[in-house]
Amino acid sequence: MDNALILIAEDDPEISVVLDAYLQRAGWRTVVARDGAVALDHVRMLKPDLVLLDVGLPKHDGFDVLARIRREGETPVIMVTAMSEDVDRLTGLRMGADDYVVKPFNPQEVVERVRAVLRRSGGVTASSIRRCGPLELDLDAQGAFTALNGARTPLDLTLTEFRLLAHMAAAPTRAFARSELLDACLPDGDALERTVDSHLSKARRKLEAAGVTTLIHTVRGIGYRLAALA
């Protein structure tokens, strides 16, 4: 379900803003709740496809919210918390949480965990394949292919090249800033923005060698976009 509705139950506004941006960028709809009472109201009224649930919510904490969600249905839940002790993680899982993320976290990792849980629950059927014109990206297998003239040809991309193209393919024709691509696709290193240029230059050459010559476009003063070719 590419248009899944994700409830972000998080009282820290900075964290909720980041999660909201990354989840929407991945193609999902979002709604935010700042406390457990509002989160439960949203679950009952909006029936989200998945809940990202912070343990330390006011009014009703995350464990209380999870218990009430489980009494009423099987909505997938990923617990999000600053607690790192195994006992807290095990408590959430024993109460029926589908996955667990500990702060501080990589937002892109949260996106991938959401995708995996939705897929397991039956909420995602096609999102593992991402297409942009003749480019096809298999997010599960981390495989890239070109489809031209009835032929499907594999592309030998590095992991970073794959991540950059997959990230942009989620919103074809949108201009992505280098800083955004760096944050989303190379979050764990000390890479500079020009590193994005290098990786995309290599990906462009590989696409051109496969016969795809006008997919990656440089946007002056901003960064890059993919052209959604027919």
Helix or strand or coil: residue 219?
A: strand
Query: Where in the chain are the domains?
Result: 5-121, 129-226
Q: Which pLDDT tens digits describe the chain residue by residue (230 residues)?
A: 557 889 999 999 999 999 999 998 888 888 899 999 999 988 887 888 999 999 889 999 989 999 999 988 889 999 988 766 566 667 777 788 888 888 888 898 899 899 889 888 775 444 467 788 889 888 767 789 998 877 788 999 998 899 899 888 877 778 888 888 887 777 655 568 889 999 999 999 999 999 998 899 999 999 999 985 43
pLDDT of amino acid 111: 92
SS3 letters across 132-167:
ECCEEEECCCCEEEEEECCEEEEECCCHHHHHHHHH
pLDDT of amino acid 228: 56
pLDDT of amino acid 86: 61
Strands of the chain, DSSP E: 5-9, 29-33, 50-54, 77-81, 99-102, 129-132, 135-138, 143-148, 151-155, 176-177, 216-219, 223-226
State the CATH class of domain 5-121.
Answer: alpha beta
pTM over 0.75: no
The CATH classification number of 129-226 equals: 1.10.10.10
75-109: burial string, b at 16+ Cβ within 10 Å, e else:
bbbbbbbebeeeebbebbeebebbbbbeeeeebbe
pLDDT of amino acid 123: 55
* Spatial distance between the Cα atoms of 81 and 189, rounded to a whole number of angstroms: 24
Q: Tell me how crowded residue 217 is: count the other CB atoms within 10 A of its CB.
A: 13
Question: Which pairs count as long-range contacts for 14-21, CB under 8 Å and 24+ apart, including other chains?
Answer: 15/54, 15/103, 18/107, 19/52, 19/107, 19/110
